[in-house]
Amino acid sequence: MKRLKLGMVGGGTGAFIGAVHRIAARIDDRFELVAGALSSNPETAKQSAKELNIKEDRAYTSYTQMVEQESQREDGINAVAIVTPNFLHYPIAKSFLAAGINVICDKPMTCTLEEALSLQEIAQQSGCIFVLTHNYSAYPLVRQAKQLVTDGALGPLRLVQVEYVQDWLSTATELEGNKQAEWRSDPKRNGPGGCLGDIATHAFNLASFISGLKLNQVSADLNTFVEGRKLDDNVNAMLRFEKNVKGMLWSSQVAPGNENGLRIRIYGEKAGIEWAQENPNQLLFSPLGGAKQIITRAGATYTGAPHLVRTPGGHPEGYLEGFANIYYEAADLILAQLAGENTMQLQQASLLPGTQEGVEGLRFIEAVIASSEQDGKWIAMEPVHE
């Protein structure tokens, strides 16, 4: 099969997430990186493109130049991956969608809810595919956990507990030359939520994805423990979902001893499930009054989609493969688009995160901030437009 042509904005020398996207896009050999505006610094952009074997005539020094030229080429890109700091997601995605180019965007979708709603409308009007890389939703056993909930194996749900805990910002790393910490601690580049926007949105998305529930209300307390930091580094939130389901969310980047502690527990009347990102190839299923079961990725009790699994049971898969599953399914949508199929309907029927998840993430961020500013007052989430 001919590889799809991928472009990238951001992700040049010294960037972290760009390399993750490039590896993920190539794992299943369905994409080839052929164009890029890899840095806002023209010299860095050119050098980064050279290092990635991008031809000189497709090594752009701005995303506007890239949109203009790629949209006019007969062999133009099929999709663009946006891996810049958050404040650039909206203008870049808007430009590519307006030019009829599909978008694969890192999260959060935008910095504000107003931008998210605008981009959702632009994407719908463009007819283009828009994929948001909430990669944890594409882990094989996360998909199986969702299926267990959907099939009623847990019975009516009661409780959702989710946490995402790190320690890498326990000191003022942003003042010590750490590029990733610098922009994530800057409200102008990151948006209004620090830890909230960076990783609490992943926890919220995971809870919503597996449970299938909409969040109705939130009561939250945001903290900034590191002196002088401009954004939050710790989030505590109580959650009220639809169907009278209760929840708790804790997210922190100042919890020593935690590297990437994303963990979720969901309990229903009949059973509970538990999954942890640092041990992603096991899902615990605990029926009430019965023995706890360990479901393993690619094991005898795995019932998920075959394309989500690439190696035999017992061989660990995780972070990169989660991103790769997003790209694999995005490739399916793009190929369907090229074949003239209705990709909007196909995406809605898929498990791929898109603009709806992006809007919900920004609603969550704004509701948490509003609640914290009002000393934990319960704040209603605005109705989500289907």
CA distance 294 to 299: 10
Mean pLDDT of 217-229: 97
Q: How far apart are CA 152 and CA 159, in angstroms?
A: 15
Query: Tokens for 170?
Result: 């326990």
* Cis before 108 (ω within 30): yes
- Residues 353, 205: contact at Cβ < 8 Å? yes
Structural Rg of the chain based on CA atoms: 21
Is the pLDDT confidence value at 348 over 90?
no
Q: Residue 14 has what pLDDT?
A: 84
> pLDDT tens digit string along 2-44?
899 999 999 998 889 999 999 999 999 999 999 999 999 999 9
Q: In this predicted model, what pLDDT tens digit does every residue of 36-85 receive, in sequence order?
A: 999 999 999 999 999 999 999 999 999 999 999 999 999 999 999 999 99
Give the percent of the chain with pLDDT over 70. 99
pTM recorded for the entire structure: 0.95
